[in-house]
Amino acid sequence: QVQVAESGGGSVQTGGSLRLSCVASGNTDGRRCMGWFRQVPGEKREGVAIMCTRGGSAWYADSAKGRFTVSQVNSKNTLYLQMLSLKPEDTATYYCASDPTYQPLIEGAPAYWGQGTQVTVSS
């Protein structure tokens, strides 16, 4: 079993920045992929960025490319999402997720989810 916990959400104005953090704990031995998703009430949860330990490049949604950067500290099972040039349309609940493999994350069906952290961008 793996527990996932996010932190770092908040409220900023347009053009501001935030850094989200996610820690996976529990049975985290071996290769692990983690990712960030976001959801607006009434809409489908969408992937934002995904990264796996032990090599490989990160995947970004088109909306995140050029503004968001995902990074990780493998030794601490920690995943970060640095968000720059935030826009009102980035307002959402951001969720961190974890899975031993990549494909479930790409498909939006990872094994483990965090509780979410709210990001609000005002104009």
Query: Per-residue pLDDT for the chain (123 aa), expressed as one digit of tens each?
Result: 899 999 999 999 999 999 999 999 988 777 789 999 999 999 999 999 999 876 668 999 999 999 999 998 877 789 999 999 999 999 999 999 999 999 999 999 999 999 999 999 999
End-to-end CA distance of the chain: 41
The pLDDT of residue 73 is: 84
- The pLDDT score that the predictor gives to residue 29 is 74
Res 32: pLDDT: 85
